[in-house]
Amino acid sequence: MTPAEGYFAWPAPGREAPLPAAAAQFFRENGYAVLTSFCAPQELSALRARAAEIIAAFHAEGAGSGTVFTTREEARATDDARFLASAAEISCFLEEKQVPGVAAAPAVNKIGHALHDLDPTFGAFSRARKVRAVAEGIGLRAPLLTQSMYITKSPRVGGEVRPHRDAAFVHSDAPPDSPAGACLGYWWALEDSTLANGCLWAVPGSHRDGAHFRRMCLDETRAATRFEGDEAAERSYPHESYRALPMNAGDLIVLHGAVVHKSLENTSERSRHAYSIHVVDGKVPRSCWLQRPASLPFREL
Ligand code: FE2
Protein backbone atom coordinates (compact mmCIF):
# COMPACT_ATOMS: atom_id res chain seq x y z
CA MET A 1 0.00 0.00 0.00
CA THR A 2 1.34 3.46 -0.86
CA PRO A 3 1.58 5.67 2.20
CA ALA A 4 -0.71 8.70 2.12
CA GLU A 5 0.87 11.89 0.84
CA GLY A 6 2.60 13.80 3.61
CA TYR A 7 2.97 10.74 5.86
CA PHE A 8 6.47 9.34 6.36
CA ALA A 9 7.51 6.33 8.40
CA TRP A 10 9.99 7.28 11.10
CA PRO A 11 13.10 5.23 10.17
CA ALA A 12 13.58 3.70 13.62
CA PRO A 13 10.18 3.47 15.36
CA GLY A 14 10.44 4.96 18.85
CA ARG A 15 14.17 5.64 18.56
CA GLU A 16 16.62 8.27 17.35
CA ALA A 17 17.06 8.60 13.59
CA PRO A 18 17.66 11.37 11.07
CA LEU A 19 14.62 13.04 9.53
CA PRO A 20 13.94 11.39 6.14
CA ALA A 21 14.92 13.74 3.30
CA ALA A 22 11.52 13.21 1.65
CA ALA A 23 9.78 14.44 4.82
CA ALA A 24 11.97 17.57 4.93
CA GLN A 25 11.19 18.25 1.28
CA PHE A 26 7.43 17.78 1.80
CA PHE A 27 7.60 20.10 4.82
CA ARG A 28 9.29 22.82 2.77
CA GLU A 29 6.61 22.63 0.09
CA ASN A 30 3.50 22.07 2.19
CA GLY A 31 4.29 23.43 5.65
CA TYR A 32 3.80 20.18 7.53
CA ALA A 33 4.85 16.51 7.60
CA VAL A 34 3.52 13.55 9.57
CA LEU A 35 6.12 11.15 10.96
CA THR A 36 4.44 7.86 11.74
CA SER A 37 5.46 5.62 14.68
CA PHE A 38 7.77 8.30 16.09
CA CYS A 39 7.04 7.24 19.67
CA ALA A 40 7.25 3.95 21.48
CA PRO A 41 4.07 2.86 23.31
CA GLN A 42 5.75 3.26 26.71
CA GLU A 43 6.50 6.92 25.95
CA LEU A 44 2.82 7.54 25.29
CA SER A 45 1.69 5.79 28.44
CA ALA A 46 4.23 7.72 30.56
CA LEU A 47 2.96 11.08 29.30
CA ARG A 48 -0.68 10.10 29.68
CA ALA A 49 -0.16 8.81 33.22
CA ARG A 50 1.67 11.97 34.27
CA ALA A 51 -1.02 14.20 32.74
CA ALA A 52 -3.70 12.22 34.56
CA GLU A 53 -1.88 12.90 37.84
CA ILE A 54 -1.66 16.63 37.11
CA ILE A 55 -5.36 16.81 36.23
CA ALA A 56 -6.35 14.79 39.31
CA ALA A 57 -4.34 17.15 41.53
CA PHE A 58 -6.01 20.13 39.85
CA HIS A 59 -9.48 18.72 40.56
CA ALA A 60 -8.49 17.91 44.12
CA GLU A 61 -7.56 21.55 44.66
CA GLY A 62 -11.00 22.67 43.46
CA ALA A 63 -11.27 23.14 39.74
CA GLY A 64 -13.80 25.95 39.93
CA SER A 65 -11.05 28.51 39.61
CA GLY A 66 -9.80 27.04 36.33
CA THR A 67 -9.50 29.40 33.41
CA VAL A 68 -11.53 28.56 30.33
CA PHE A 69 -9.34 28.19 27.29
CA THR A 70 -10.69 29.70 24.12
CA THR A 71 -9.27 30.83 20.81
CA ARG A 72 -11.81 33.68 20.79
CA GLU A 73 -10.12 36.97 21.61
CA GLU A 74 -12.98 38.56 23.52
CA ALA A 75 -13.32 35.72 26.01
CA ARG A 76 -9.61 35.49 26.63
CA ALA A 77 -9.30 39.03 28.00
CA THR A 78 -10.60 38.35 31.48
CA ASP A 79 -8.20 35.48 31.97
CA ASP A 80 -5.05 37.29 30.88
CA ALA A 81 -3.20 37.24 34.17
CA ARG A 82 -3.48 33.52 34.60
CA PHE A 83 -2.71 32.90 30.95
CA LEU A 84 0.45 35.03 31.07
CA ALA A 85 1.62 33.37 34.27
CA SER A 86 1.25 29.96 32.66
CA ALA A 87 4.30 30.68 30.47
CA ALA A 88 6.35 29.69 33.49
CA GLU A 89 3.92 27.29 35.21
CA ILE A 90 1.97 24.09 34.82
CA SER A 91 -1.65 25.29 34.63
CA CYS A 92 -4.88 23.56 33.73
CA PHE A 93 -7.38 25.33 31.47
CA LEU A 94 -11.01 24.25 31.22
CA GLU A 95 -13.21 23.58 28.21
CA GLU A 96 -15.78 26.27 27.39
CA LYS A 97 -18.43 23.59 27.09
CA GLN A 98 -19.15 21.32 30.03
CA VAL A 99 -21.72 18.60 30.57
CA PRO A 100 -23.43 19.48 33.86
CA GLY A 101 -24.53 16.51 35.87
CA VAL A 102 -22.84 14.01 33.57
CA ALA A 103 -19.11 14.40 34.02
CA ALA A 104 -17.75 13.98 37.54
CA ALA A 105 -15.54 17.07 37.20
CA PRO A 106 -15.23 19.97 34.73
CA ALA A 107 -13.38 18.85 31.62
CA VAL A 108 -9.84 20.14 31.24
CA ASN A 109 -9.03 21.49 27.77
CA LYS A 110 -5.27 21.65 28.16
CA ILE A 111 -2.31 21.89 30.50
CA GLY A 112 0.31 24.54 29.73
CA HIS A 113 2.77 26.05 29.12
CA ALA A 114 6.00 25.06 30.90
CA LEU A 115 5.58 21.30 31.29
CA HIS A 116 8.85 20.78 29.41
CA ASP A 117 10.86 22.78 31.96
CA LEU A 118 9.05 21.97 35.20
CA ASP A 119 8.01 18.33 34.91
CA PRO A 120 10.74 15.66 34.57
CA THR A 121 8.57 13.27 32.51
CA PHE A 122 7.61 15.89 29.95
CA GLY A 123 11.12 17.38 30.07
CA ALA A 124 12.80 14.09 29.18
CA PHE A 125 10.32 13.39 26.39
CA SER A 126 10.61 16.90 24.91
CA ARG A 127 14.39 16.94 24.94
CA ALA A 128 14.97 13.45 23.56
CA ARG A 129 17.67 13.47 20.88
CA LYS A 130 15.23 12.27 18.24
CA VAL A 131 13.11 15.41 18.84
CA ARG A 132 16.11 17.63 18.18
CA ALA A 133 16.97 15.52 15.11
CA VAL A 134 13.66 16.57 13.55
CA ALA A 135 14.39 20.29 14.04
CA GLU A 136 17.88 19.84 12.65
CA GLY A 137 16.56 17.90 9.67
CA ILE A 138 14.25 20.80 8.90
CA GLY A 139 17.20 23.17 9.10
CA LEU A 140 16.96 24.88 12.49
CA ARG A 141 20.40 25.69 13.88
CA ALA A 142 19.78 26.38 17.58
CA PRO A 143 16.20 25.34 18.43
CA LEU A 144 15.01 27.06 21.60
CA LEU A 145 12.14 25.26 23.36
CA THR A 146 9.57 27.88 24.33
CA GLN A 147 6.29 26.27 25.30
CA SER A 148 4.48 22.97 25.80
CA MET A 149 0.83 21.95 25.94
CA TYR A 150 -1.00 18.77 26.84
CA ILE A 151 -4.34 18.83 25.02
CA THR A 152 -7.17 16.51 26.04
CA LYS A 153 -9.97 17.27 23.53
CA SER A 154 -12.39 15.60 25.89
CA PRO A 155 -15.30 13.42 24.70
CA ARG A 156 -18.41 15.45 23.69
CA VAL A 157 -17.03 18.77 24.98
CA GLY A 158 -13.60 19.09 23.30
CA GLY A 159 -13.84 22.49 21.66
CA GLU A 160 -13.09 23.63 18.13
CA VAL A 161 -9.69 25.23 17.53
CA ARG A 162 -10.33 27.92 14.97
CA PRO A 163 -8.08 28.38 11.93
CA HIS A 164 -4.78 29.92 12.97
CA ARG A 165 -1.07 30.03 12.36
CA ASP A 166 1.04 29.08 15.37
CA ALA A 167 3.25 32.09 14.57
CA ALA A 168 0.37 34.21 15.91
CA PHE A 169 1.14 32.88 19.38
CA VAL A 170 4.83 31.97 19.34
CA HIS A 171 7.00 34.75 17.91
CA SER A 172 10.70 34.96 17.28
CA ASP A 173 13.23 37.16 15.60
CA ALA A 174 13.92 34.43 13.02
CA PRO A 175 13.56 35.81 9.49
CA PRO A 176 10.30 34.84 7.73
CA ASP A 177 12.22 32.74 5.19
CA SER A 178 13.87 30.62 7.90
CA PRO A 179 13.06 26.90 7.56
CA ALA A 180 10.06 26.89 9.94
CA GLY A 181 9.19 30.60 9.87
CA ALA A 182 8.77 32.14 13.32
CA CYS A 183 8.36 28.78 15.08
CA LEU A 184 8.29 25.05 14.55
CA GLY A 185 5.37 23.18 16.11
CA TYR A 186 5.48 19.53 17.16
CA TRP A 187 2.19 17.76 17.85
CA TRP A 188 2.13 14.17 19.03
CA ALA A 189 -1.01 12.05 18.91
CA LEU A 190 -1.05 10.25 22.26
CA GLU A 191 -4.29 8.55 21.24
CA ASP A 192 -5.67 7.85 17.79
CA SER A 193 -6.76 11.17 16.29
CA THR A 194 -9.62 10.72 13.84
CA LEU A 195 -12.29 12.63 11.93
CA ALA A 196 -14.71 11.71 14.73
CA ASN A 197 -12.70 12.96 17.72
CA GLY A 198 -11.30 16.15 16.17
CA CYS A 199 -8.10 15.49 14.24
CA LEU A 200 -5.98 18.29 12.80
CA TRP A 201 -6.73 19.85 9.42
CA ALA A 202 -4.17 21.96 7.53
CA VAL A 203 -4.04 23.97 4.32
CA PRO A 204 -1.07 22.61 2.34
CA GLY A 205 1.21 25.42 1.15
CA SER A 206 -0.52 28.15 3.18
CA HIS A 207 2.81 28.93 4.91
CA ARG A 208 3.91 30.50 1.63
CA ASP A 209 0.89 32.75 0.99
CA GLY A 210 2.55 35.89 2.37
CA ALA A 211 -0.65 36.95 4.13
CA HIS A 212 -0.46 39.43 6.97
CA PHE A 213 0.02 37.76 10.33
CA ARG A 214 -1.98 38.26 13.48
CA ARG A 215 0.11 38.30 16.66
CA MET A 216 -0.81 37.94 20.29
CA CYS A 217 1.33 40.52 22.09
CA LEU A 218 1.71 42.12 25.48
CA ASP A 219 0.08 45.52 25.75
CA GLU A 220 1.75 48.63 27.21
CA THR A 221 1.10 47.48 30.78
CA ARG A 222 2.86 44.16 30.07
CA ALA A 223 0.17 42.59 32.28
CA ALA A 224 -2.43 41.94 29.57
CA THR A 225 -2.53 40.75 25.99
CA ARG A 226 -3.68 42.37 22.78
CA PHE A 227 -3.72 41.18 19.20
CA GLU A 228 -1.91 42.93 16.38
CA GLY A 229 -3.63 42.27 13.07
CA ASP A 230 -6.85 40.30 12.77
CA GLU A 231 -8.01 36.81 11.99
CA ALA A 232 -9.12 37.57 8.42
CA ALA A 233 -6.10 36.07 6.67
CA GLU A 234 -6.16 32.94 8.82
CA ARG A 235 -9.88 32.46 8.29
CA SER A 236 -9.86 33.12 4.55
CA TYR A 237 -9.39 29.52 3.42
CA PRO A 238 -12.60 27.59 2.65
CA HIS A 239 -12.97 24.23 4.33
CA GLU A 240 -12.42 22.53 0.95
CA SER A 241 -8.80 23.76 0.90
CA TYR A 242 -7.97 21.89 4.12
CA ARG A 243 -6.59 18.39 4.26
CA ALA A 244 -7.67 16.16 7.14
CA LEU A 245 -4.69 14.72 8.99
CA PRO A 246 -5.81 11.72 11.04
CA MET A 247 -2.99 10.18 13.05
CA ASN A 248 -2.39 7.03 15.01
CA ALA A 249 -1.22 7.14 18.60
CA GLY A 250 2.56 7.63 18.49
CA ASP A 251 2.62 9.64 15.26
CA LEU A 252 4.14 13.14 15.22
CA ILE A 253 3.22 16.04 12.96
CA VAL A 254 5.55 19.00 12.54
CA LEU A 255 4.01 22.32 11.52
CA HIS A 256 5.65 25.38 9.97
CA GLY A 257 4.80 28.46 12.05
CA ALA A 258 2.84 29.99 9.19
CA VAL A 259 0.81 27.01 7.98
CA VAL A 260 -2.94 27.52 8.57
CA HIS A 261 -4.53 24.69 10.52
CA LYS A 262 -7.53 23.96 12.73
CA SER A 263 -9.42 21.18 14.46
CA LEU A 264 -13.14 20.64 14.82
CA GLU A 265 -15.15 19.87 17.94
CA ASN A 266 -14.93 16.44 19.44
CA THR A 267 -18.50 15.21 19.35
CA SER A 268 -17.50 11.58 19.86
CA GLU A 269 -17.29 9.49 23.00
CA ARG A 270 -13.49 9.20 22.76
CA SER A 271 -10.87 11.67 23.98
CA ARG A 272 -8.09 12.85 21.70
CA HIS A 273 -5.05 13.42 23.89
CA ALA A 274 -2.09 15.16 22.27
CA TYR A 275 1.16 16.78 23.40
CA SER A 276 2.63 19.78 21.62
CA ILE A 277 5.77 21.90 21.88
CA HIS A 278 7.03 24.92 19.97
CA VAL A 279 10.63 25.77 19.24
CA VAL A 280 12.11 28.91 17.69
CA ASP A 281 15.37 29.42 15.86
CA GLY A 282 16.23 32.72 17.46
CA LYS A 283 14.99 34.77 20.38
CA VAL A 284 11.48 35.43 21.67
CA PRO A 285 10.87 39.21 21.38
CA ARG A 286 9.78 41.28 24.37
CA SER A 287 6.48 42.01 22.63
CA CYS A 288 5.40 38.33 22.73
CA TRP A 289 2.95 37.21 25.43
CA LEU A 290 5.24 34.28 26.18
CA GLN A 291 7.83 35.61 28.63
CA ARG A 292 9.94 33.90 31.25
CA PRO A 293 11.33 35.25 34.53
CA ALA A 294 15.12 35.34 34.81
CA SER A 295 14.90 32.33 37.13
CA LEU A 296 13.45 30.11 34.39
CA PRO A 297 15.01 31.06 31.04
CA PHE A 298 14.13 29.31 27.78
CA ARG A 299 16.56 26.51 27.01
CA GLU A 300 17.50 24.70 23.82
CA LEU A 301 15.97 21.42 22.79
FE1 FE2 B 1 -1.87 25.35 16.34
* CA–centroid distance, residue 101 to ligand 1 (Å): 31
Those residues of the chain that have pLDDT short of 50 are: 1, 74, 77-78
Q: What is the pLDDT of residue 64?
A: 52
* CA–centroid distance, residue 226 to ligand 1 (Å): 18
Q: What is the pLDDT of residue 74?
A: 46
* CA–centroid distance, residue 193 to ligand 1 (Å): 15
Q: What is the pLDDT of residue 99?
A: 67
* CA–centroid distance, residue 220 to ligand 1 (Å): 26
Q: What is the pLDDT of residue 77?
A: 47
* CA–centroid distance, residue 162 to ligand 1 (Å): 9
Query: Which of 293, 271, 278 has its CA nearest to residue 55?
Result: 271
* CA–centroid distance, residue 261 to ligand 1 (Å): 6
Q: What is the pLDDT of residue 68?
A: 57
Q: What is the pLDDT of residue 59?
A: 87
* CA–centroid distance, residue 185 to ligand 1 (Å): 8
* CA–centroid distance, residue 287 to ligand 1 (Å): 20
Q: What is the pLDDT of residue 112?
A: 94
Q: What is the pLDDT of residue 1?
A: 41
Q: What is the pLDDT of residue 124?
A: 97
**Within 10 Å of residue 155's Cβ, how many Cβ atoms?**
17
* CA–centroid distance, residue 262 to ligand 1 (Å): 7
Long-range Cβ contact pairs of 209-216 (< 8 A, separation 24 or more): 209/233, 211/236, 213/165, 213/167, 213/168, 213/258, 214/164, 214/165, 214/168, 215/167, 215/168, 215/171, 215/287, 215/288, 216/168, 216/169, 216/288, 216/289
* CA–centroid distance, residue 269 to ligand 1 (Å): 23
* CA–centroid distance, residue 1 to ligand 1 (Å): 30
